């Protein structure tokens, strides 16, 4: 009966989350730059070339699989994000329940259903939604393995950690964090022998390598060295730049290098970098997490410290270690943006849920509302969820990109097939289903020269053209370009020209 009572609210919350996310399928946002690359990669996967992209293959492989069911790459990517956005409710619920209690688990899962970042990422052709699920699940099973010492939990931890790694390369840090905890700390209320610690680390490491080895070996074959990704190069040497990359990679033509030797040689510089990275990452994180949830999370940590439960404190410190590792080290070396720091949102939600519970207990006792505890708690949670969802719908929107989709769909209907488009961003070419190349930051004559040398048929300009290429419109010549179509929306503008080739 107890299990059924637990699953009933969980199923209702998952149904709520799915219902809200259906709108993201019916009214999809304009695709992101990275989404176009994932779809290009998925097309390569279907031809048998599963390591053709610069990103890790997990998400593109899923797109390729779902495409065979829905027949549309963009829709396949959105459905994957929707499904994993709904499934994320499960590991977050069990994190909250395991560390605190079932009420905290329920509140946490409700927050997952409506959280602005988690909701919006559920409708994007991006890795975020999938990665959030794999990350939260690996943290959950990592704690189970550390706490209970069962090899099956260690295997499940390795499975989900490797799936997270195959989605985003920075997930390799999960294995390091788990190994450090198992080796240096005892589980709550017990002791573990050295041999037991080593065996658990070996099981987790070997399982992780087995699950991830096909990808790691393929990178070794292609690059000639061991690496965790084609985008991130963790090496002993120094930073290196790749040559010119095709297609969408023209937007980000750099291979990020992480020179470990230089970091070790200059520990003071590393400490400064970690300190500034930690503060910057936390600032970006609280922007995405939501100030109200940050407030409740602080209250939650006060409650955790006052509770003085060894199990609860160690479990929360285990989760906090992930924040410190990524905020202070990984993101400080790579990039500390809101998109990257939002990876920690899902595993942080139980702190806010517990903080809300602590705050409600104080309010009920302070104002003598214990008799109306159920009503006050329900109203408070409902108000929090409403604030999160409404604010997310207002702030996190890509409606300003709609003009790109309109232009792309027009070009699909009016331009010949097989031509090349040159534009600042690839969205127009994506919706037109035409090949794309980026506009270089050069002058008018140089842009035309490069376009003609590449066989580009159409030039798509926008409101940023003059800023990127000063003097462009002053040098404009009617004998070079024929105006086909113009879109004007508030401060946005897109103009499509046909390029004239000299006879």
Output the DSSP codes for 13-64: HHHHHHHHHHHHHHSPPPPPHHHHHHHHHHHHHHTT-TT-SSS-SHHHHHHH
Summarize the confidence of residues 59-79 as an average pLDDT: 96
Residue 330 reports pLDDT greater than 90: no
Residue-level pLDDT at 264:
56
Residue-level pLDDT at 131:
97
Q: How confident is the model at residue 474 (pLDDT cuts 50, 70, 90)?
A: confident
Residue-level pLDDT at 310:
61
Summarize the confidence of residues 44-61 as an average pLDDT: 88
Residue-level pLDDT at 266:
63
Distance CA 160, CA 134 (A): 5
Summarize the confidence of residues 265-278 as an average pLDDT: 74
Strand pairing report for 492-499 and 456-462: antiparallel
Residue-level pLDDT at 237:
39
Distance CA 366, CA 243 (A): 65
Percent of the chain residues topping a pLDDT of 70: 89
Percent of the chain residues topping a pLDDT of 90: 64
Summarize the confidence of residues 353-359 as an average pLDDT: 94
Distance CA 335, CA 118 (A): 20
Residue 258 reports pLDDT greater than 60: no
Q: How confident is the model at residue 45 (pLDDT cuts 50, 70, 90)?
A: very high
Residue-level pLDDT at 435:
93
Residue-level pLDDT at 367:
77
Distance CA 18, CA 435 (A): 35
Q: What is the mean pLDDT of the chain?
A: 87
225 half-sphere exposure, CB direction, 13 A CA radius: 9
Residue 257 reports pLDDT greater than 60: no
More confident of the two residues 272 and 91 = 91
Range in 73-77, 154-158, 263-267, 269-273 with the lowest mean pLDDT: 263-267
pLDDT, tens digit (0-9, with 9 covering 90-100), for 363-382: 888 877 767 777 888 899 99
Question: Do residues 434 and 421 make contact, with C-beta atoms less than 8 angstroms apart?
Answer: yes
For the residues of 199-237, what is the DSSP string, one character each? HHHHHHHHHHHHHHHHHHHHHHHHHSS--S-SSEEEESS
Q: How confident is the model at residue 346 (pLDDT cuts 50, 70, 90)?
A: very high
Summarize the confidence of residues 198-221 as an average pLDDT: 92
pLDDT, tens digit (0-9, with 9 covering 90-100), for 409-458: 999 999 999 999 999 999 999 999 999 999 999 999 999 999 999 999 99
Which residues, listed in sequence order, are joined to residue 233 by a DSSP beta bridge?
A: 257
Q: How confident is the model at residue 355 (pLDDT cuts 50, 70, 90)?
A: very high
Looking at 27-171, list the stretches that DSSP marks H as alpha helix, in order from N- to C-terminal side: 33-46, 58-70, 73-87, 89-99, 102-114, 116-121, 128-148, 151-167
Reported pTM: 0.89
Residue-level pLDDT at 446:
94
For the residues of 305-321, what is the DSSP string, one character each? HHH--HHHHHHHHHHHH
Judged by DSSP in three states, 456 sits in strand
More confident of the two residues 309 and 13 = 13
Residue-level pLDDT at 341:
87
Summarize the confidence of residues 11-27 as an average pLDDT: 95
């Amino acid at each position: 009966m107890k299990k059924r009572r637990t699953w009933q609210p969980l199923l209702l919350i998952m149904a709520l989350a799915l219902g809200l996310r259906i709108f993201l399928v019916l009214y999809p946002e304009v695709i992101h730059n990275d989404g176009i690359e994932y779809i290009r990669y998925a097309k390569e996967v279907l031809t048998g070339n599963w390591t053709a992209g610069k990103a890790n293959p997990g998400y593109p492989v899923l797109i390729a699989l779902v495409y065979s069911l829905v027949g549309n790459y963009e829709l396949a990517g959105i459905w994957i994000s929707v499904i994993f956005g709904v499934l994320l409710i499960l590991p977050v619920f069990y994190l909250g329940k395991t560390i605190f209690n079932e009420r905290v688990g329920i509140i946490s899962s409700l927050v997952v259903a409506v959280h602005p970042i988690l909701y919006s990422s559920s409708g994007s052709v991006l890795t975020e939604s999938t990665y959030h699920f794999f990350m939260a699940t690996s943290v959950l099973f990592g704690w189970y393995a550390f706490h209970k010492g069962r090899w099956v939990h260690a295997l499940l931890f390795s499975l989900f950690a490797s799936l997270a790694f195959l989605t985003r390369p920075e997930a390799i840090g999960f294995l390091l964090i788990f190994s450090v905890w198992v080796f240096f700390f005892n589980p709550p209320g017990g002791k573990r022998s050295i041999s037991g610690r080593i065996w658990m680390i070996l099981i987790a490491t070997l399982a992780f390598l087995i699950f991830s080895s096909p990808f790691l070996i393929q990178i070794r074959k292609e690059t000639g060295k061991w690496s965790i990704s084609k985008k991130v190069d963790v090496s002993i040497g120094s930073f290196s730049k790749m040559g010119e990359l095709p297609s969408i990679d023209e937007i980000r033509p750099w291979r990020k290098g992480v020179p470990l030797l230089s970091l070790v040689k200059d520990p003071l510089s590393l400490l400064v970098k970690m300190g500034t990275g930690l503060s910057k990452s936390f600032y970006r994180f609280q922007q995405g997490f939501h100030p109200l949830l940050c407030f409740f999370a602080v209250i939650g940590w006060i409650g955790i410290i006052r509770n003085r439960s060894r199990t609860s404190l160690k479990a929360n410190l285990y989760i906090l270690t992930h924040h410190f590792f990524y905020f202070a080290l990984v993101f400080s070396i790579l990039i500390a943006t809101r998109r990257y720091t939002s990876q920690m949102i899902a595993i942080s939600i139980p702190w806010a849920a517990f903080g809300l519970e602590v705050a409600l207990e104080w309010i009920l006792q302070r104002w003598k509302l214990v008799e109306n505890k159920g009503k006050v708690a329900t109203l408070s949670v409902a108000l929090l969820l409403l604030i999160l969802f409404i604010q997310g719908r207002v702030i996190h929107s890509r409606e300003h990109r709609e003009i790109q989709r309109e232009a792309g769909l027009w070009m699909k209907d009016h331009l010949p097939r097989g031509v090349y488009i040159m534009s600042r961003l690839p969205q127009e070419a994506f919706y037109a289903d035409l090949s794309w190349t980026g506009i270089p930051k050069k002058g008018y004559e140089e842009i035309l020269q490069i376009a003609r040398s590449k066989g580009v048929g159409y030039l798509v300009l926008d409101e940023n053209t003059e800023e990127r290429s000063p003097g462009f419109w002053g040098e404009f010549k009617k004998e070079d370009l024929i105006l086909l179509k113009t879109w004007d929306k508030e401060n946005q503008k897109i103009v499509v020209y046909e390029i004239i080739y000299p006879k």
